[in-house]
C-alpha cells in the first residue's frame, strides 16, 4: 500500500533535477481529432506534474483556410498553412500527429518517417489493409517511433479489465463479444462526408468502427486467427456534403444525392489463437444505440463488460462457490490508472477527450524517454490482417485464415 511518505519513483517521472525535454509537435488535419489532440497536448502540463517532457505546438496544416486560421489564432500554433509538407519539413517539429482522412494517412506517414520524425497516426493508419502494411514498413525502415489513436484502450476501466483477464481472475476466457454501433449514419439525410467515400476513407464501418473493436479484443485476448464475415451498405445515397462537412452533418430533402461507396455494416465470427471464440458486429446506420462501443468477455470464473456509453462503469461478475456475485457495477475513480489526474475520488466521471489526453501523454513520454510504445503501427497491422481476412470471407462466403 503506498503512503504519502513513499519514496518509490513515480512512473514516467524525470530523475530528480533533470530537465523536461521539449517535444515540438506538428498536426496534420485539424478537424475533430486534430483539435482533440492539440487541446490534449496543451493541457498535459496542467495535469501531469511528473511528466518527462513539455509539448510545444509548432506547426499545423489543414485543407480549409478557416481551420488554418484557428490553429494559430485559438490554439497557439506558431505556424499553420494549407500545405502539409510544411509541417513535416519544419525543423522544430519532432513528432507529427496525423488526423486527416484515412486515404491520406499512408503518404503522410511515409513522408514523416522519411524525415525521421516520430509519427502518431489516427486509426486506421490508411484506408485499406495494403496501405497499413506500407505505413508499418515505412516506420520500421526509418526506425521511427509510431503510435496509433486506439484511444479506447486507455480508458482506466478497460485497463482494469485487462488486468483482471491477465491475472487469471476470470479463469480461462472462452468467449468474446465485441461491437461498435454508432448512429452517425442512421439518418438518410446525414451528408455524404469523406467517411462514406471509398476514395477518401477507404473501407467504411470496418475501417472506422471494427478497427477499434478488434484492437480492444487483441489487447484483451490476443491474436485472432480465423474469421467468417459479411458486409452490407444499407443507405446507398446521401445528400452531397459542403466543405469540411462532418459525418454528424445533416442535409436537406431537396439536396442532390451522391452514391455511398463503402460499407455501413459488418459482422464477423472468429477464433482466437487462445482457442476462445468471438463475435463482432459494427454499424453506422443502426437505429437505437448511439455510440455503443462495447465488449463482453466471458471466462470460466467470471465475466466483464464495458460500453463507451457508460465509460465510467465496468460490469463485473465473479463466479463463487455458492451463487455467484451476479453482475456488479465497478465505478471509475482515482484507484484506476490515470483517472485521478482529471478528477479525485470515485464516481466522478471522466470523458472521451480525457482518453485522448492519456494516449498523448503516454506517446510523448515514450518519445521523450526513448521507450517503445503500444499501440503502434505493428498493432495497426494486426488489425489490417484481420480486415483483409474479413474482406476475403465476405467475397468467398467461407472461413478465412488471418495471414501475417
Ligand X SMILES: NC(=O)c1ccc[n+]([C@@H]2O[C@H](COP(=O)([O-])OP(=O)(O)OC[C@H]3O[C@@H](n4cnc5c(N)ncnc54)[C@H](O)[C@@H]3O)[C@@H](O)[C@H]2O)c1
Site for ligand X in 75-94 (CB under 6 A): 84
Using the rule CB under 6 A, give the single segment among 3-11, 97-105, 261-269, 299-307 that binds ligand X.
Answer: 97-105
Q: Is 298 in the site for ligand X (CB under 6 A)?
A: no
CB-nearer residue toward ligand X: 52 or 61 = 61
Tell me the C-alpha distance between 144 and 162, whole Å: 28
Tell me the C-alpha distance between 34 and 28, whole Å: 7
Q: Is 151 in the site for ligand X (CB under 6 A)?
A: yes
Placement of cell 480549409 in the chain: 64
18, three cell numbers:
533533470
Q: Is 196 in the site for ligand X (CB under 6 A)?
A: no
CB-nearer residue toward ligand X: 80 or 267 = 80
Evaluate the CA torsion angle 391, 392, 395, 400 in order and state its sign. Answer: negative
Placement of cell 484506476 in the chain: 336
Q: Is 223 in the site for ligand X (CB under 6 A)?
A: no
117-to-42, 98, 147 alpha-carbon distances in Å: 20, 12, 12
Evaluate the CA torsion angle 124, 130, 131, 137 in order and state its sign. Answer: positive
Indicate the SS3 state at residue 129: helix
Kindly tell me which residue out of 38, 52, 61, 262 binds ligand X, with binding defined by CB under 6 A. 61
- Nearest-CB residue to ligand X? 31
Q: How do strand 173-182 and strand 277-283 relate by DSSP bridges?
A: parallel
Using the rule CB under 6 A, give the single segment among 100-108, 132-140, 171-179, 231-239 that binds ligand X.
Answer: 100-108
Say if CB 241 and CB 249 are below 8 A apart.
Answer: yes
Tell me the C-alpha distance between 208 and 216, whole Å: 14
Q: Is 63 in the site for ligand X (CB under 6 A)?
A: yes
Using the rule CB under 6 A, give the single segment among 25-33, 172-180, 267-275, 363-371 that binds ligand X.
Answer: 25-33
Q: How far is the CB of 147 from ligand X (least distance, A)?
A: 11
Using the rule CB under 6 A, give the single segment among 12-20, 55-63, 248-256, 340-348 that binds ligand X.
Answer: 55-63
Q: How far apart are the first and last CA of the chain?
A: 43
Kindly tell me which residue out of 12, 29, 190, 204 binds ligand X, with binding defined by CB under 6 A. 29
Kindly tell me which residue out of 40, 102, 365, 379 binds ligand X, with binding defined by CB under 6 A. 102
The site for ligand X (CB under 6 A) is made up of 28-34, 61-64, 67, 84, 99-102, 104, 122-123, 149, 151, 208, 244, 246
Amino acid at each position: 500500500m503506498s503512503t504519502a511518505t513513499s519514496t518509490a519513483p513515480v512512473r514516467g517521472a524525470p530523475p530528480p533535477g533533470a530537465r523536461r525535454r521539449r517535444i515540438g509537435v506538428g498536426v496534420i488535419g485539424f478537424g475533430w481529432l486534430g483539435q482533440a489532440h492539440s487541446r490534449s497536448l496543451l493541457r498535459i502540463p496542467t495535469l501531469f506534474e511528473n511528466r518527462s517532457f513539455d509539448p510545444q505546438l509548432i506547426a499545423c496544416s489543414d485543407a480549409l483556410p478557416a481551420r488554418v486560421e484557428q490553429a494559430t489564432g485559438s490554439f497557439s500554433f506558431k505556424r499553420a498553412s494549407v500545405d502539409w509538407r510544411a509541417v513535416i519539413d519544419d525543423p522544430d517539429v519532432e513528432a507529427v500527429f496525423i488526423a486527416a482522412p484515412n486515404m491520406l494517412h499512408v503518404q503522410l506517414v511515409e513522408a514523416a518517417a522519411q524525415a525521421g520524425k516520430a509519427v502518431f497516426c489516427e486509426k486506421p493508419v490508411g484506408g485499406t489493409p495494403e496501405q497499413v502494411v506500407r505505413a508499418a514498413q515505412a516506420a520500421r525502415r526509418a526506425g521511427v517511433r509510431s503510435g496509433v489513436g486506439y484511444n479506447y484502450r486507455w480508458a482506466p476501466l478497460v485497463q482494469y479489465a485487462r488486468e483482471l483477464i491477465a491475472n487469471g481472475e476470470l479463469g480461462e476466457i472462452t468467449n468474446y463479444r465485441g461491437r461498435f454501433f454508432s448512429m452517425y449514419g442512421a439518418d438518410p439525410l446525414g451528408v455524404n462526408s469523406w467517411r462514406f467515400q471509398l476514395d477518401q476513407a477507404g473501407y467504411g464501418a470496418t475501417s472506422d468502427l471494427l478497427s477499434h473493436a478488434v484492437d480492444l479484443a487483441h489487447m484483451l485476448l490476443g491474436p485472432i486467427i480465423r474469421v467468417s464475415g459479411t458486409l452490407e451498405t444499407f443507405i446507398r445515397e446521401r445528400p452531397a456534403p459542403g466543405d469540411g462537412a462532418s459525418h454528424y452533418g445533416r442535409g436537406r430533402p431537396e439536396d442532390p444525392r451522391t452514391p455511398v461507396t463503402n460499407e455501413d455494416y459488418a459482422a464477423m465470427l472468429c477464433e482466437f489463437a487462445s482457442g476462445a471464440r468471438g463475435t463482432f458486429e459494427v454499424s453506422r446506420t443502426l437505429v437505437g444505440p448511439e455510440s455503443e462501443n462495447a465488449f463482453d468477455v466471458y471466462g470460466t470464473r467470471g465475466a466483464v463488460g464495458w460500453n463507451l456509453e457508460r465509460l465510467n462503469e465496468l460490469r463485473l461478475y465473479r463466479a463463487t462457490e455458492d451463487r455467484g456475485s451476479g453482475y456488479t457495477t465497478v465505478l471509475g475513480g482515482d484507484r484506476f490508472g490515470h483517472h485521478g489526474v482529471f478528477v479525485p475520488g470515485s464516481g466522478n466521471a471522466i470523458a472521451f477527450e480525457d482518453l485522448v489526453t492519456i494516449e498523448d501523454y503516454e506517446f510523448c513520454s515514450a518519445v521523450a524517454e526513448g521507450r517503445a510504445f503500444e499501440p503502434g503501427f505493428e498493432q495497426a497491422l494486426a488489425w489490417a490482417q484481420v480486415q483483409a481476412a474479413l474482406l476475403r470471407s465476405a467475397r468467398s462466403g467461407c472461413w478465412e485464415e488471418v495471414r501475417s
